[in-house]
Amino acid sequence: VTALPGSGAPAGALVLVRSARAGGRPAADAALVSDFAFRAGMALSTAVLYAEQAHTAAVLRSGLDPAPLPEVPGVRLGAAYRPAPDALGFGGDFYQVEPARDGCGGVKFALGDVCGKGVEAAVLSGHVRQSLRTLALVESRPLRVLDVLNQSLLEADSGRFASLVMGAARPGAQDTLDVVLAGGGHLPPLVLRRGGTVEAVDVGGMLVGALPDAEFGQAGVRLARDELILLYSDGVTEARGGPTGAEEYGAERLAHDLAGCAGMPAGAIAERIALRVAEWLAGRAHDDIAVLALQASSSSPSSPGSSGAAGAPR
């Protein structure tokens, strides 16, 4: 009987049976058994450790994956999310959409990007998302929400910060959608008009969690029926690929591809943009990618399939 060495405790035991007529165990056999037991013990310990890590990653991922998009009258939604390949399935980019609870209809939304990658970025992303949900219960003013979130991140003293754009979209008269945006150092959202014209919305603002006296920006947009506003992370515009493999996808190419989506529903547009970026990357490594589209529609609930599924194929 030979113990199988493990991490802090034996991983098991190796039991060998020898015929009584074979006599004592030769030294060569003893060395072989010892070597085999060591290798088997290490293999078993590694397998157990890997299984524990895989379970932990799965639990974290289930809590950090974007929630399914809601169906809300007057708003058509779409989204796409692609974590970086080396991020264990979760990263620092995020989006979230929830029905407004103030009785006025519409949705509240946010899309952000925390600094860093992998598990550390995912932890901060989870903190920001949970803080936004909690603040939404007691505060409806987007700028005030950003002020409180900024203070919360500074008090956490993690040395990390985030870019963020958030706001509310409320159905108006004649199937319009009124969108109020508040921003903290994030890329400008893009508006797709009916004729295929694309407009950038300069929300402005400073990074959230970087400075005690940060100032944040605000802007408003009115969308006619079928017009859309697109929020995205820098994983889209900074995706490097193309003929040389080093050229960025860029804001101009994004606007051009978005213009070609006029007339499409929000879910299809979000996936189309994610597909265009994937084609540009051509299998190369990339940062986290998050896309969120909000579109004005009729006051009837969104039809099945009009919303992009959260946690889309990665």
Q: What is the pLDDT of residue 27?
A: 74
pLDDT digits (tens, 9 = 90+) for 75-87: 999 999 998 876 5
The pLDDT of residue 305 is above 60: no
**Residues 162 and 124: beta-carbon distance below 8 Å:** yes
Residue 270: what pLDDT? 97
d(CA 283, CA 242): 11
CA distance 285 to 246: 11
* SS3 assignment, position 111: strand
Q: pLDDT grade, residue 313 (50/70/90)?
A: very low
CB 93 within 8 A of CB 309: no
Q: What is the mean pLDDT of residues 286-303?
A: 81
162 closest CA partner among 171, 152, 172: 152
Sheet with 228-232: strands ordered across: 75-82, 289-296, 228-232, 190-192, 198-200
Please identify which residue in the block is written with the tokens 């600094």: 115
Report whether 248 contacts 254 (CB < 8 A): no
Q: What is the pairing mode between strands 75-82 and 240-241? A: unpaired
What does the alpha-carbon distance between residue 310 and residue 188 come to, in Å, rounded to a whole number? 22
Residues 49, 237: Cα–Cα separation, whole Å:
38
Domain boundaries, the chain: 2-60, 67-296
67-296 in CATH: which number?
Answer: 3.60.40.10
Least confident range from 23-27, 97-101, 171-175, 289-293: namely 23-27
Residues 6+ apart with CB under 8 A from 77: 69, 70, 97, 107, 266, 267, 292, 293, 294, 295, 302, 306, 307, 308
Q: What secondary structure letter does DSSP report for 68?
A: P
Strand-pairing partners, residue 112, are 94, 164
